[in-house]
Amino acid sequence: MPEDLDAGRAGPALSVRALTKHFGERTAFEDISFEIGYGEVFGFLGPNGAGKTTTVRTLGTLVTPTSGSATVAGIPLVPENGVEIRRRIAIMPESPGLYLHLSVTENLECFADLYETPDARSRIERSLHAVNLAERAHDVCGALSKGLRQRVALARALLSDPEVLFLDEPTTGLDPAAARDVHELIDGLRRRGVTIFLTTHRLEEAERLCDRVAILNTRLRTMGRPDELRDRLFTKSLKVRTLEPLAKAGRVFAGLPAVEGWHEEGPGSYVLVVSDPLVATPAVTRALVAAGADVVSISESRHSLEDIYLELVDHDGETETR
């Protein structure tokens, strides 16, 4: 398995410039640009039909882009470089695609030969150990559960020590326990410095695993660290709860540093729009105490990646229906 993957590498692991793919009249994705560094886990989010899988297939040289350019593992994405690019990457498609009549080891042997991996036997053993499947090496794949098949597919993707690993919806159709196992495996790969391009529509998965995320809905809607996106898209706010409703809330909150506005959500529940929670929170606390209020809680309102995603995707939907 790769230990010092990013040593000696210059430039990004993936660089995409204005990449577009049309299938006839239909647009799979349009004008997408991004860069991913070595060792980064990059989440590619979007609703069904957003173009996530086609993007992976395009970067994996299975599909030819209509326009734009890209480099994958440092190699320009052009048809004549297909073999060389595929040598350096691995793709785990949404469906594991195992030969169900063959054993786990036989499946991996076939792919070790397709990658022409040296010392195939020990690579297979290491891959199986990496996904905790060494005990099931001789089981026929058709007899494995969905979660175990997904692990075999991940072991298969690790056989060639890829520079970039594409995981296309790796937990789709898995029960929560199996999905957690896959998350732990991805987390393990991240700790070892493997560059991962993860497509998913499970937002908690992206939030937990990814250094940066991009949200695609045919076009790239936004990109950044989950906390950056939160800051960029939403105003910061404090949620204040008191035991009894404040008699003169306007007087309590008016003129406090970093408080830009407020509204009452319910009896004894207030939302304060703030420019800096670290400045506003102590000032609000002091003002409430001075006003003799019984404070139950003061908390910063945090938006999840799901809020960001829904905000963008819903906005797209509204724009389309106009």
Partner 1 sequence: MRLSRRRVRAIFRKELREYRRTGSIVVAMLVIPLVFVINPLVAVFGLSASDASSLSHSHALLYLLGIPALVPTIVAAYAVVGERRQGTLEPVLTTPIRSEEFLLGKGLAAFVPSLVVSYVVYAFVLVLIELFANSGVASALVKPPELVAQLLFTPLLAGWSIWIAMAISTRTSDPRTTQQLALLAGLPTVVVTTLIAYGVIPATLGVALASGAVLLVLNRLGWRMVSALFDRERLVSSTK
Answer yes or no whether residue 263 interacts with partner 1 by CB under 8 A: no
CA 231 to chain centre: 18
Answer yes or no whether residue 32 interacts with partner 1 by CB under 8 A: no
Of 78 and 271, which CB lies nearer to partner 1 in the complex structure?
78
CA pair distance 314, 66, nearest whole angstrom: 28
> Are the C-beta atoms of residues 91 and 133 closer than 8 Å to each other?
no
Residues of span 82-121 touching partner 1 by CB under 8 A: 83-84, 86-87, 89-91, 93, 95-102, 106, 109-111, 113-116
Answer yes or no whether residue 123 interacts with partner 1 by CB under 8 A: no
Answer yes or no whether residue 25 interacts with partner 1 by CB under 8 A: no
Answer yes or no whether residue 247 interacts with partner 1 by CB under 8 A: no
- What is the contact mask toward partner 1 in residues 41 to 60, using x (rule: CB under 8 A)? -------------x--x--x
CB 101 to partner 1: min, Å = 4
Sheet holding 219-224, edge to edge: 89-92, 164-168, 195-200, 41-45, 212-217, 219-224
Q: What are phi and psi of 24, to 5 degrees?
A: 65, -120
Total residues binding partner 1 (CB under 8 A): 33
Angle at 199 between CA 231 and CA 319, to 5 degrees: 60
CA pair distance 238, 253, nearest whole angstrom: 12
Of 64 and 304, which CB lies nearer to partner 1 in the complex structure?
64
CA 206 to chain centre: 3
Answer yes or no whether residue 235 interacts with partner 1 by CB under 8 A: no
Q: How far is CA 138 from each of CA 101, 168, 238, 312, rounded to the nearest angstrom?
A: 12, 26, 57, 47
CB 180 to partner 1: min, Å = 24
CB 188 to partner 1: min, Å = 22
Contact residues toward partner 1 (CB under 8 A) are 23, 54, 57, 60, 62-64, 83-84, 86-87, 89-91, 93, 95-102, 106, 109-111, 113-116, 153, 156
